[in-house]
């Protein structure tokens, strides 16, 4: 059942949609980042805390180790139809989907015309498989222990299929199905609000900045945008101040926190409240307030200087700076090989105005 609720802008290269299945998978993927990103939605925090250690490890394996099996290559109108499609795949077809997706990726060692041989070589040993991945991904994007587990399952495709399908079915039934029913009306409000905007004359990058409210770096994103025939923007209730990306064939799917278009009034208090909570969450922490105060008093600062001045570990500073930047309270740029941060007072004013408008509307 291909999805029917994608709402197209005047230019078909820019679309706004609800995307129930990809939306759900994005939320599941956020569970793998619960320890690394602060400010994610309450559902992510509550669900992560409800998972046993075994469930958490299995979830990481399915969503990361088998990412290219889990993320579909087409849209589906609902999660049940998507699961039925997974169940209908043969175990070998499922494994081939994963391996062929990897084989299509740029390889640091150059490409080979003998794709079948490359696949067989990669699956011949655990060491070969890890090397196969390293030729396609930076080391920071490889989790060796997870990939070692994934390799063992790839040697037994029926067991691998059962793991993937049963885990996704369990996560949907236990955690996601009731949550989807709760947030769906709010997400639809966001889709309809952005549908009313005129995107004619905007580039994909300009549309991305308008819809998400993020200041996408042109140098980093222009290639992503240009390579995609279409960019589909999807509001998500759990992503907080961040954005997420899926590549579905020739389409770039860009997730953003469900929100109103800037400056557009609409009677949708749940949307307003959700965006205010995202913004206030970034301020509701002593370390983040200290960072903002330090930069306010001392001007633009390098991340290393912030760590030393406030006695923060690298991981803590990185997590806090990511949230403050994603929420818009800090402007981030590269300077002399480091990341530098400056206060964005306009965002503080916007937040106060958003609270006032919500409470006094």
The side-by-side arrangement of strands in the sheet containing 6-8 is: 6-8, 14-17, 230-236, 251-257, 244-248
Model's pTM, two decimal places?
Answer: 0.88
Q: What is the pLDDT along the chain (361 residues), one digit of tens a residue?
A: 333 333 333 347 899 999 999 999 999 999 999 999 999 999 999 999 999 999 999 999 999 999 999 999 888 999 999 999 999 999 999 999 999 999 988 887 765 557 788 899 999 999 999 999 999 998 888 999 999 999 999 999 999 999 999 999 999 999 999 999 999 999 999 999 999 999 988 989 999 999 998 888 777 788 778 788 899 999 999 999 999 999 888 889 999 999 888 766 555 677 788 888 899 999 999 999 999 999 999 999 999 999 999 999 999 999 999 999 999 999 998 887 889 999 999 999 988 888 888 888 6
The pLDDT assigned to 265 comes to 53
Measured distance CA(229)–CA(249) in Å, rounded: 9
Q: Which helix (H) or strand (E) holds 298?
A: helix 286-298
| Alpha carbon distances (Å) from 347 to 10, 258, 298, 324, 331 | 30, 18, 18, 11, 10
What DSSP string runs through 143-160? -HHHHHHHHHHHTSHHHH
* Contact status, residue 328 vs residue 213, Cβ threshold 8 Å: yes
* Per-residue pLDDT, 112: 57
Give the span between the Cα atoms of 354 and 48, in whole angstroms.
30
DSSP lists the bridge partners of residue 148 as none
The tokens for 78 are 């609902």
């Amino acid at each position: 059942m291909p999805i029917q609720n994608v709402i197209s802008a005047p230019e078909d290269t820019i679309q706004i949609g609800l995307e129930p299945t990809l939306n759900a998978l994005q939320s599941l993927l956020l569970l793998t980042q619960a320890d690394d990103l602060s400010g994610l939605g309450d559902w992510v925090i509550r669900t992560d805390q409800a998972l046993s250690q075994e469930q958490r490890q299995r979830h990481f394996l399915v969503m990361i180790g088998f990412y290219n099996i889990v993320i579909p290559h087409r849209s589906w109108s609902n999660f049940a139809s998507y699961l039925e499609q997974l169940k209908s795949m043969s175990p070998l077809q499922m494994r081939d989907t994963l391996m062929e997706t990897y084989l299509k990726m740029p390889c640091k060692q150059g490409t080979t015309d003998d794709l079948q041989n490359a696949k067989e070589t990669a699956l011949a040993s655990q060491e070969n498989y890890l090397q196969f991945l390293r030729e396609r991904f930076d080391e920071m994007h490889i989790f060796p222990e997870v990939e070692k587990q994934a390799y063992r399952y790839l040697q037994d495709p029926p067991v691998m299929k059962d793991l993937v399908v049963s885990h996704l079915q369990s996560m949907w039934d236990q955690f996601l199905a009731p949550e989807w029913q709760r947030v769906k009306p709010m997400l639809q409000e966001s889709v309809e609000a952005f549908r009313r905007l005129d995107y004619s004359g905007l580039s994909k990058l300009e549309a991305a900045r308008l819809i998400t409210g993020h200041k996408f770096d042109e140098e980093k994103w222009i290639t992503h945008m240009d390579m995609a025939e279409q960019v589909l923007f999807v509001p998500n209730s759990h992503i907080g101040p961040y954005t997420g990306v899926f590549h579905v064939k020739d389409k770039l799917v860009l997730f953003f926190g469900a929100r109103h278009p800037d400056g557009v009034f609409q009677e949708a208090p749940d949307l307003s409240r959700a965006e205010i909570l995202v913004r206030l969450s970034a301020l509701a922490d002593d370390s983040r307030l200290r960072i903002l105060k330090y930069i306010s008093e001392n001007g633009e600062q390098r991340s290393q200087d912030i760590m030393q001045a406030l006695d923060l570990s690298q991981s803590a500073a990185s997590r806090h700076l990511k949230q403050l930047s994603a929420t818009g309270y800090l402007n981030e740029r590269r300077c002399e090989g480091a990341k530098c941060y400056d206060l964005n007072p306009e965002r503080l004013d916007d937040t106060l105005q958003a609270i006032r408008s919500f409470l006094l509307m």
